[in-house]
Amino acid sequence: MRLKRYNITISLGFGVILFHFINIAFTGGDDPFIALDHFEKGGLIEAAYKQAQGQGRFYLILTWFLSEFSYYFGFEWASFIKIISTLALFSAYFILIARLFGKKFSIFNSLIVLLFFDWWGGDFNIIHNSPLWYSSGTTFLIISFIVFIKELEKSSENYIKSIIFFGIAILFYEIFLLYVIIYPLAYLIYFKLPLNYQSALTLIKKFKYLFILVIIYLTAYLSFRFYFPSLYEGNENFYFWDPLNSLFTIIRLSVMGIGFKYWDSFSLWIIIKSIVFSLFISISAIHFLSKHSETLINNHYSKSLNFKILGLFICVIIPNILFGFSLKYHTWYGPYVGSSISALALIPIITYCINKIYIQSTNFRYLFFMLFLVISSGIYMNFFYKFQGFKQDKIKLENLETLLNETKFDNNIVPKICTDKNFLSSESYYIYSYLEKYFSYTTNKKVNFIYIDSKPKKTNYEENLCNFEIKSNNANEVYFITF
């Protein structure tokens, strides 16, 4: 019963977070482009295939199709998919941590996840960006690890089930291929095998299907890349000429996921809501630690504990190795996809360190409480403000679509619609280049969108503008929108 109350707390915490996923619009920089791509490329499958050709990635035929499909039936459908995929991801993650360290550790780790929930911040993350792509691939990778642990404990002859799920995971993202090192390494250490010729033969025999899978994947990937060279800057070429910056990029993307993008834009309501929510989770975390710190990792799960922590450190670095040798990410400052995946491996390490420090001195409970409250409140101010913006974007897009449908334009002139640059919640959307496409497909009217740094000075004709009332100056068909 004691542990059950914390499960209720965790469920309520995730419930509050996922409630903000309801009725939201685009949540990432590429989402508008993905949602509209099939309109001009002959349908979902054709658009996915052309995108795969353009990036030299054969697996995009699947992932791009799924991401397009997520928005195919509208924003509500996409919101529902994001909620389900997020639940699936964190459910699998909870089970994996429990398998590695025990249920109590997994509960406390989940409380830390709630405190640092938007660690993966930014516009590109596995939680709410490109639905059914990053989150699904990560979920299948985690399931592969869960199944592998079970097979490892049973001394399986062939690790077929875990290999199958790993094969599905790499169909979603090529960076997951680097995790192939985890399986033979875990086997080697779990059975305490010496690193010699005989153990190498054992690994080849045990994981022959895994190695065959990797060979088949690389053959398919490189063959497709040969016929369709990548035109995408992120994976066009490897860049080895600045090793120190490559190392810095790998470390930066691995451990610097938190970003306070909207720190100067919070309303009083968001500040109060964030502090109250953070206070609720922080008290629960400290209370759990005070009751269970000594038994957070029992003797059964302490076997090879140092190896497990080392394995997590490896898992933190792995997702960002390829990013480190791409010139694009040397100048990309902010959390990216790899930061999200790294956070899932880094948070259990933080959980472990907090527990170790607390055992040494319970006086640290006050320091931990203040750190939890301050950092978590800041993170949630960003999170709540960001998702409030996503909800407003949905309202704006839908109302503007209705208004454009009701407005009659001169057939001989393509009207220009002006709005300030904060019309939508994030400048990183590249949204203004997509708005014209979006409304041309949804309203069958060709319009040009332009944005200006500040709101236009009101003339006598425009001084009575209401929210989403389009007014023309009748001179050159320029329209102004306010919200």
The predicted-structure confidence for 264-297, as pLDDT tens digits, reads as follows: 567 888 999 999 999 999 999 999 999 988 888 8
Contact of 150 with 95, CB cutoff 8 Å: no
Instruction: Tell which wins on pLDDT, 217 or 254.
Output: 217
Cα Dmax for the chain: 87
**pLDDT for residue 212:** 96
Burial of residue 140 (CB within 10 Å: 0-12, 13-18, 19+) is: buried
**pLDDT for residue 120:** 65
Residues 41-50 have a mean pLDDT of 90
Q: Where on the phi/psi map is residue 455: left (φ > 0), alpha (ψ -120 to 50), or beta?
A: beta
**pLDDT for residue 257:** 65
Confidence class for position 107, pLDDT limits 50, 70, 90: very high
Residue whose token pair is 């990309």: 332
Confidence class for position 440, pLDDT limits 50, 70, 90: confident
With a pLDDT cut of 70, the percent of the chain lying above it is: 87
**pLDDT for residue 190:** 87
Compute φ and ψ for 83, nearest 5 degrees: -65, -50
With a pLDDT cut of 90, the percent of the chain lying above it is: 45
On the question of pLDDT at 162 being above 80, the answer is: yes
Instruction: Give 167-178 pLDDT, tens digit per residue.
Output: 999 999 999 999
Find which of 17-31, 212-226, 399-413 is predicted with most confidence, using mean pLDDT: 212-226
Residues 325-338 have a mean pLDDT of 85
* 37, 103, 305, 388 from 143: Cα distances, Å: 31, 17, 21, 32
**pLDDT for residue 428:** 44
Lowest-pLDDT choice from 107-121, 282-296, 392-406, 421-435: 421-435
**pLDDT for residue 467:** 43
Confidence class for position 464, pLDDT limits 50, 70, 90: very low
On the question of pLDDT at 118 being above 70, the answer is: yes
Looking from the CA of 232 toward its CB, the CA atoms found within 13 Å total: 16
**pLDDT for residue 444:** 80
Instruction: Give 56-102 pLDDT, tens digit per residue.
Output: 999 999 999 999 999 888 888 999 999 999 999 999 999 999 999 99
Selection from 344, 329, 318 nearest residue 125 by Cα? 344
Instruction: Tell which wins on pLDDT, 91 or 466.
Output: 91
**pLDDT for residue 155:** 85
**pLDDT for residue 437:** 78
On the question of pLDDT at 36 being above 70, the answer is: yes
Helix %, strand %, coil % for the chain, to 5?
A: 65, 5, 30
**pLDDT for residue 50:** 94
Instruction: Tell which wins on pLDDT, 39 or 222.
Output: 222
Contact of 31 with 71, CB cutoff 8 Å: yes
Confidence class for position 362, pLDDT limits 50, 70, 90: confident
| Cα separation of the two ends of the chain | 50
SS3 311: helix
What residues does each domain of the chain span?
2-388, 407-480
Contact of 131 with 27, CB cutoff 8 Å: no
Instruction: Tell which wins on pLDDT, 216 or 451.
Output: 216
Compute φ and ψ for 334, nearest 5 degrees: 150, 165
**pLDDT for residue 463:** 38
Residues 141-154 have a mean pLDDT of 94
Residues 234-243 have a mean pLDDT of 87
Burial of residue 413 (CB within 10 Å: 0-12, 13-18, 19+) is: exposed
**pLDDT for residue 402:** 82
Compute φ and ψ for 424, nearest 5 degrees: -110, 165
**pLDDT for residue 432:** 62
**H or E stretch including 163?**
helix 160-170
What is the rounded average pLDDT for all residues in the chain? 84
Confidence class for position 476, pLDDT limits 50, 70, 90: low
**pLDDT for residue 177:** 96
Lowest-pLDDT choice from 108-122, 182-196, 282-296, 448-462: 448-462
Q: What is the DSSP letter of 332?
A: -
Encoding tokens for residue 411? 């057939």
